[in-house]
């Protein structure tokens, strides 16, 4: 009984430490966003600002065309996520259920691309896109992310766990491959698909490096790139940067809180069954 | 007076039940073409090299329940999938009635199939599961819901219509799977080990249910199982398969009374038939079998119930009693099981009563009944008796109502 209690206490302590580590940056962001400029660099640092500077948010919002950035981010994230889910579902179905020439070779080839670090792809992708004159367009922001083999791999594992008999039964009942995929496989893999979608939404929304490289006008820039506005040769205006960061990540926090059930279910499922 | 009224009530009830069953039969055979299934020299190799099924031919008669019986891995599911069209043969032809369906795919063959794990669509309600094949066939919504309910009533799940499959018991899931298989008015109903996921008691109950549903619908049914007892109880005829070859294809009684080979003799019946090397007991059979059998026989097989006390008043196979040594005897309820050492082998006899037994380790006289004793040759084929007179009629399709 006491042993159980000790291990429980230990678990709670570890989880609390973990939670604090995750939360501190967010709290620091919020606290800095409400400070005056001198207060942001004061030593020792203060956690709670003397006078809450709410107008920092207004100043930050007007410092750059954030409304345009916001709309751009929304467009890029929506199109990338829907597009990626579509290609992922089709590819995962092909690798899981169809028989075609070179299937295993193709799968191994795709699998090996997962070992290439993302940074190495920046230059080749940039060159390719510039050859197609897509630099500084939405195309550059969207097209490279329309397929993700990691997502295909995860979903294929989920699809493989669906018994073959279901596929045969549906076939005998008159269902085509296409119909089976959308009326059986997809609804049955709802949580995995939602998890993949959410991860892509978050990844796409927060993406900074790639949009910075392939865009150079405000017309097509996205929110994270917009945060650059507060950094200049003269230094960084931390209070404005943090205020802007707050409204940039706010939609993601809301998305996460609403859908966390699916994210956790999807991750733990693909982990267990993989 | 009151007795008479009761009698009238009863007969009225019986009449109603019969009328209802008759209507059901018309109802469910409506639109189904009841056909036989013919395999002509069918072979199948999954890898195009090793034949899992080698050149097999048979006819499954229309409107009856046929079992495919054999040990696991003998090719039962493979045969079933060839009938359904989920597999196509490497060689040979398949006919439904007069129609050559070898090149037709699963959908065009219009078969209903029930899988071992039921394969119900987990995210759909019971009614939607049953109606799914009709939805695919673009039956109007009102019509398919009506027929879906009728089918649910046929398999007794009419109170579970809005539940999800996971909320049903194993037996209920099984019933839903059967209803769904019947929903497209199949020409043939295929069931692949449908009872093996159920517990023993439910297995017996569902076995009778499948029998009833088959009789009511009259649909040609092929039932796969590895359980000989299940097959014997449910089937009009049984095809025994081993290593991709048909061992024997006949009625359950004939399989038991006249096994064509040693495999069938050992596979059918419980306890398993006793086998003794023929050489050990040849002298005892000198006066019973012809000389050719004396020289060619390698194994004699004797059913446990054919070994009876020497004092048994019925016909005996040999003039003189035979002698063995009593090894052990057990009584469970009304069954007595006796182990005898005969011809250097321990054999089991269950035709003894307690008072017929001697003492363990002492010699015991016994006799053999004329039925249930077989001699097989080197290659396992039965060479004696050549034919056993029984009252089993050869395969005759029962009458089927075509609407
Ligand atoms: N899809 C397949 N690919 C290759 N071999 C298979 C496949 N399915 C079954 N087999 C082989 O065919 C043989 C017969 O299998 P099956 O028809 O499933 O047997 P049963 O249903 O009688 O247990 C087995 O040896 C099995 O290993
Ligand atoms: Mg099988």
- What does the domain layout of chain A look like in residue ranges? 64-270
Of B44, B73, B225, B240, best ligand 1 pocket probe by most atoms within 8 Å of the beta carbon: B73
- CA pair distance A239, B213, nearest whole angstrom: 77
pTM reported for the whole predicted model:
0.79
Whether residue A168 and residue B107 make contact (CB cut-off 8 A), yes or no, is no
Tell me the two tokens of residue B137: 């066939």
Please say whether the beta carbons of B365 and B321 come within 8 A. Answer: yes
Give chain A positions within 8 Å (CB) of B123.
Answer: 184, 187-188
At A272 the pLDDT is 38
Percent of chain B scoring above 90 in pLDDT: 62
> Measured between CB atoms, which of A166, A172, A187 is closest to B84?
A172
Ligand 1: nearest atom to the Cα of B192: 21
Cβ neighbours of residue B76 closer than 8 Å, sequence gap 6 or more? B68, B69, B70, B192, B224, B225, B226, B241
Whether residue B106 and residue A165 make contact (CB cut-off 8 A), yes or no, is no
Give the model's confidence band at B337: pLDDT under 50 very low, under 70 low, under 90 confident, else very high. Answer: confident
Give the ligand with the smallest distance to the CA of B244.
Answer: 1
**B109 to chain A: closest CA residue:** A172
What value, to the nearest 5°, has the Cα angle with vertex A94 and ends A90 and A99?
A: 160
At B126 the pLDDT is 96
Q: Kindly state whether B123 is in contact with chain A, defined as any CB-CB distance less than 8 angstroms.
A: yes
Ligand 1: nearest atom to the Cα of B241: 22
Give chain B positions within 8 Å (CB) of A179.
Answer: 136
Considering only the top CATH level, what class is A64-270?
mainly alpha
**CATH architecture under which domain B37-257 falls:** 3-Layer(aba) Sandwich (3.40)
Give the ligand with the smallest distance to the CA of B72.
Answer: 1
Whether residue B123 and residue A187 make contact (CB cut-off 8 A), yes or no, is yes
Mean pLDDT value across chain A: 88
Cβ neighbours of residue A216 closer than 8 Å, sequence gap 6 or more? A136
pLDDT digits (tens, 9 = 90+) for B187-227: 899 999 999 888 888 889 889 989 998 998 899 999 999 99
Q: Can you give the residue ranges of every domain in chain B?
A: 37-257, 272-384
- CA pair distance A198, B264, nearest whole angstrom: 60
Mean pLDDT value across chain B: 86
Please say whether the beta carbons of B18 and B207 come within 8 A. Answer: no
Span B339-358, average pLDDT: 88
Give chain B positions within 8 Å (CB) of A168.
Answer: 86, 106, 113, 115, 119
ipTM: 0.76
Interface residue of A161, A165, A170, A172 to substitute, partner B, most B CBs within 10 Å: A172
At B4 the pLDDT is 47
**pLDDT > 70? residue A102:** yes
Inter-chain contacts counted by CB atoms under 8 A, chains A and B: 49
At B19 the pLDDT is 53
Interface residue of B117, B119, B183 to substitute, partner A, most A CBs within 10 Å: B119
Query: Which residue, B210, B126, B115, B114, is CA-closest to B167?
Result: B126
Q: Which long-range contacts (CB under 8 A, 24 or more apart) does A75-80 make?
A: A75/A138, A76/A138, A76/A141, A76/A142, A76/A204, A76/A211, A76/A222, A77/A201, A77/A204, A77/A205, A79/A138, A79/A142, A80/A141, A80/A142, A80/A145, A80/A146, A80/A200, A80/A204
Whether residue B113 and residue A169 make contact (CB cut-off 8 A), yes or no, is yes
Strands (E), B45-110: 53-60, 65-69, 91-96, 99-100
- CA pair distance B164, B128, nearest whole angstrom: 9
Lowest mean pLDDT among A58-72, B69-83, B324-338: B324-338
Reduced to 3 states (helix: H, G, I; strand: E, B; else coil), residue B225 is strand
Higher pLDDT, A98 or B32: A98
* Largest distance between two CA atoms of chain A: 74
Query: B249 has which bridge partners?
Result: B239
Cβ neighbours of residue A83 closer than 8 Å, sequence gap 6 or more? A142, A145, A146
Ligand 2 mean position, distance from CA B94 (Å):
20
Span A145-149, average pLDDT: 92
């Amino acid at each position: 009984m006491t042993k159980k209690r000790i291990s429980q206490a230990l678990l709670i302590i570890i989880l609390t430490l973990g939670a604090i580590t995750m939360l501190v940056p967010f709290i620091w962001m919020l606290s800095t966003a409400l400070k005056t400029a001198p207060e942001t660099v004061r030593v020792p640092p203060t956690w709670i600002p003397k006078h809450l500077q709410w107008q920092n948010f207004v100043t930050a919002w007007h410092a750059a065309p954030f409304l345009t950035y916001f709309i751009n981010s929304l467009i890029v994230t929506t199109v990338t996520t829907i597009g990626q889910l579509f290609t992922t579902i089709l590819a995962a179905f092909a690798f899981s259920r169809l028989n075609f020439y070179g299937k295993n070779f193709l799968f191994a080839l795709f699998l090996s691309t997962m070992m290439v670090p993302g940074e190495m792809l920046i230059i080749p992708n940039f060159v390719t896109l510039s050859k197609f004159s897509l630099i500084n367009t939405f195309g550059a922001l969207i097209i490279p992310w329309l397929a993700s083999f990691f997502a295909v791999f995860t979903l294929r594992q989920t699809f493989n766990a669906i018994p073959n008999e279901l596929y045969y039964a549906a076939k005998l009942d008159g269902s085509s491959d296409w119909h089976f995929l959308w009326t059986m496989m997809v609804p049955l893999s709802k949580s995995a698909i939602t998890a993949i979608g959410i991860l892509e939404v978050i990844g796409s929304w927060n993406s900074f490096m790639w949009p910075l490289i392939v865009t150079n006008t405000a017309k097509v820039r996205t929110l994270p790139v917009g945060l650059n506005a507060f950094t200049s040769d003269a230094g960084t205006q931390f209070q404005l940067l943090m205020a802007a960061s707050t409204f940039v990540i706010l939609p993601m926090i809301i998305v996460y809180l609403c859908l966390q059930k699916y994210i956790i279910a999807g991750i733990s499922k693909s982990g267990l069954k993989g | 007076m009151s007795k008479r009224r009761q009698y009238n009530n009863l007969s009225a009830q019986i009449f109603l039940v019969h009328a209802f069953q008759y209507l059901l039969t018309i109802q469910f055979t409506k639109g189904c073409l009841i056909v036989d299934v013919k395999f002509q020299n069918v072979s199948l190799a999954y890898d195009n090299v090793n034949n899992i099924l080698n050149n097999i031919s048979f006819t499954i008669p229309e409107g009856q329940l046929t079992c495919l019986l054999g040990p696991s891995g003998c090719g039962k599911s493979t045969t079933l999938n060839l009938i359904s069209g989920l597999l196509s043969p490497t060689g040979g032809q398949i006919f439904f009635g007069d129609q050559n369906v070898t090149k037709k795919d699963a959908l065009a063959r219009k078969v209903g199939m029930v899988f071992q794990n039921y394969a119900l669509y987990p995210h759909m309600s019971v009614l939607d599961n049953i109606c799914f094949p009709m939805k695919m066939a673009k039956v109007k919504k009102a019509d398919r819901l009506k027929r879906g309910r009728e089918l649910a009533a046929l398999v007794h799940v009419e109170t579970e219509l809005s539940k999800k499959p996971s909320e049903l018991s194993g037996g209920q899931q099984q019933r839903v799977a059967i209803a769904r298989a019947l929903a497209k008015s199949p020409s043939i109903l295929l069931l692949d080990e449908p009872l093996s996921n159920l517990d023993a008691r439910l297995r017996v109950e569902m076995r009778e249910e499948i029998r009833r549903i088959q009789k009511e619908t009259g649909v040609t049914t092929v039932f796969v199982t590895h359980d000989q007892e299940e097959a014997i109880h449910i089937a009009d005829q049984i095809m025994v398969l081993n290593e991709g070859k048909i061992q024997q294809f006949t009625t359950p009684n004939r399989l038991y009374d006249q096994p064509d080979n040693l495999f069938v003799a050992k596979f059918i019946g419980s306890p398993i038939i006793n086998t003794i090397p023929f050489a050990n007991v040849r002298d005892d059979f000198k006066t019973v079998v012809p000389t050719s059998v004396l020289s060619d026989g390698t194994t004699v097989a004797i059913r446990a119930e054919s070994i009876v006390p020497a004092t048994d008043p019925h016909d005996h196979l040999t003039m003189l009693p035979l002698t063995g040594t009593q090894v052990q005897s057990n009584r469970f309820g009304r069954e007595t099981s006796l182990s005898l050492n005969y011809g250097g082998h321990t054999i089991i006899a269950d035709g003894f009563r307690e008072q017929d037994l001697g003492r363990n380790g002492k010699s015991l006289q016994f006799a053999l009944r004329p039925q249930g004793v077989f001699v097989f040759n080197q290659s396992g084929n039965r060479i004696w008796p050549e034919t056993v007179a029984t009252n089993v009629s050869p395969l005759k399709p029962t009458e089927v109502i075509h609407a």
